[in-house]
């Protein structure tokens, strides 16, 4: 089946064609028609399979059709909630690309920027509002944002949004919405607890789409290599230098480790970008743009960038640190192997991280392939580095000093 076979407006079909999409992915095929019929949907599909378009296309179709039959401003019709600013921005890009040529107005409302221009944009009329909870509640409390005409609620990355950190936010926003609405939950991962919470937030049965048993995309070849914690930087250096065409996203556990690894790479002549939650929004946006445009081919990030961010042409993901939450492994490795592209992910596992690896394997239901290193290969990698002999403690202290200087500037 092709997109041309769907009952979509010509404007939307033209936008889809401009994006080069001809046939729907599996999740799009299964979700578009139920959404067009007004059904509530809980969709679970692997990352990189086109989940955003699976709800953006039918929602745009419904709102575009309604706007053709009315001439007055009628308030926000669709509210899309996302856990991070980066994901909200990405959702805005997809919605806006698809809405090109239609009468549907899309706007992303996030924190980290001035409120006044956002308030002005809202007063001029918005049909689809994409937002993070923090800024949304700021404007709701100021009574400059009204949601009583919202007919469609979309919760993206539902497993995180329905977790303890966000469930109260979602329950709070429901009081501003009409009871008779369409509710859509989309995520790459979900467990029974979160599924029960999703059911509790709707009044009619949810159509559930089940992802494959292994939540890691079939386009990603992922494996683990066992490395001592203090030696990881040497292996990262060698991999980067021996793969000059690779575009790498390197995940670490904390912002301090992100700064430390960035500095370690700098010492051996490797430029890289850093992305973590303690950075100003403008800094985060600039780093993402530089990585997308390949001004630098290495980005060292915390899990702030693992959720839903679509960065083109990432060839490799390196889990420099294993994630403490097993489901974040799926989101991390899903940053490569997007669409029909192939991708590779390696996890550096230190002895003290073996329990984290076991948790990941239980979660994915698969045993991750092991890359065997003999003693000679291991020794060669340590000798390969021209890095100075600073100890791990010295590097940690240096990173903390860097972070302290950044805070001082603020």
In this prediction, residue 334 carries a pLDDT of 87
Lowest mean pLDDT among 134-143, 193-202, 287-296: 193-202
Give me the mean pLDDT over the 337-342 stretch. Answer: 81
How far apart, in whole angstroms, are the C-alpha atoms of residue 21 and residue 34?
20
For the chain, the structural domain boundaries read: 3-209, 220-409
81-119 as b/e, with b when 16 or more CB fall inside 10 Å? bbbbbbbbbbbbebbbebbeebebbbbbbbbeeeeeebe
Closest-CA residue to 105 (of 83, 119, 122, 90): 122
In this prediction, residue 344 carries a pLDDT of 95
Give me the mean pLDDT over the 307-325 stretch. Answer: 87
Instruction: Indicate the fold that domain 220-409 takes in CATH.
Output: Rossmann fold (3.40.50)
Total count of residues recorded for the chain = 410
**DSSP 8-state class, residue 280:** -
How far apart, in whole angstroms, are the C-alpha atoms of residue 335 and residue 239?
18
Task: Supply the pTM of this predicted model.
Answer: 0.70
Mean of the per-residue pLDDT values for the chain? 85
Q: Is 324 a residue whose pLDDT tops 60? A: yes
CATH superfamily, domain at 3-209: P-loop containing nucleotide triphosphate hydrolases (3.40.50.300)
In this prediction, residue 392 carries a pLDDT of 47
How far apart, in whole angstroms, are the C-alpha atoms of residue 206 and residue 35?
11
Q: What confidence category does residue 26 fall into, taking pLDDT thresholds of 50, 70 and 90?
A: confident
In this prediction, residue 387 carries a pLDDT of 47
Lowest mean pLDDT among 176-185, 191-200, 232-241, 304-313: 304-313
Q: What is the DSSP string of 141-175?
A: HTT----TT--EEEEESHHHHTSHHHHHHHHHHHT
Q: Is 307 a residue whose pLDDT tops 80? A: no
**3-209 and 220-409 share one CATH topology?**
yes
Q: Is 408 a residue whose pLDDT tops 80? A: no
């Amino acid at each position: 089946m092709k997109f041309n076979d769907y009952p979509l407006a010509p404007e939307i079909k033209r936008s889809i064609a401009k994006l080069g999409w001809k046939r729907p992915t599996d999740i799009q095929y299964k979700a578009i028609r139920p959404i067009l019929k007004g059904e509530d949907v809980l969709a679970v599909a692997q990352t990189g399979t086109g989940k955003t378009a699976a709800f953006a296309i039918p929602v745009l179709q419904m709102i575009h059709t309604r706007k053709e039959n009315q001439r007055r401003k009628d308030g926000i019709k669709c509210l899309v909630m996302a856990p991070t600013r980066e994901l909200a921005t990405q959702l805005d890009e997809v919605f806006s690309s698809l809405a090109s040529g239609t009468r549907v107005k899309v706007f992303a409302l996030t924190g980290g920027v001035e409120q006044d221009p956002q308030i002005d944009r809202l007063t001029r009329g918005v049909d689809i509002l994409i937002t993070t909870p923090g800024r949304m509640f700021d404007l709701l409390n100021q009574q400059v944002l009204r949601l009583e005409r919202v007919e469609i609620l979309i919760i993206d990355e539902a497993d995180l949004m329905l977790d303890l950190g966000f469930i109260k936010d979602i329950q709070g926003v429901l009081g501003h919405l009409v009871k008779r609405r369409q509710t859509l939950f989309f995520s790459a991962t979900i467990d029974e607890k979160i599924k029960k919470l999703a059911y509790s937030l709707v009044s009619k049965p949810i159509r559930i789409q089940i992802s494959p048993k292994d939540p890691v995309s079939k386009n990603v070849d992922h494996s683990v290599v066992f490395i001592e914690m203090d030696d990881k930087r040497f292996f990262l250096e060698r991999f980067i230098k021996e793969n000059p065409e690779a575009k790498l996203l390197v995940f670490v556990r904390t912002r301090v480790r992100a700064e430390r690894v960035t500095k370690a790479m700098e010492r051996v002549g490797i430029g890289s970008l850093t992305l973590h939650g303690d950075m100003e929004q403008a800094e985060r946006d600039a780093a993402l743009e530089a990585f997308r445009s390949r001004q630098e081919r290495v980005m060292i990030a915390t899990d702030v960038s693992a959720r839903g961010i679509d960065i083109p042409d990432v060839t490799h993901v390196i889990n420099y640190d294993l994630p403490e939450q097993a489901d974040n492994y799926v989101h991390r490795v899903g940053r490569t192997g997007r669409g029909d592209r192939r991708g590779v992910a390696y996890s550096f596992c230190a002895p003290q991280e073996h329990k984290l690896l076991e948790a990941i394997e239980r979660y994915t239901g698969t045993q991750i392939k092991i890359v065997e290193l003999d003693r000679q290969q291991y020794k060669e990698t340590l000798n390969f580095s021209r890095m100075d002999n600073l100890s791990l403690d010295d590097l940690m202290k240096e990173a903390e000093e860097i972070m302290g200087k950044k805070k001082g500037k603020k």
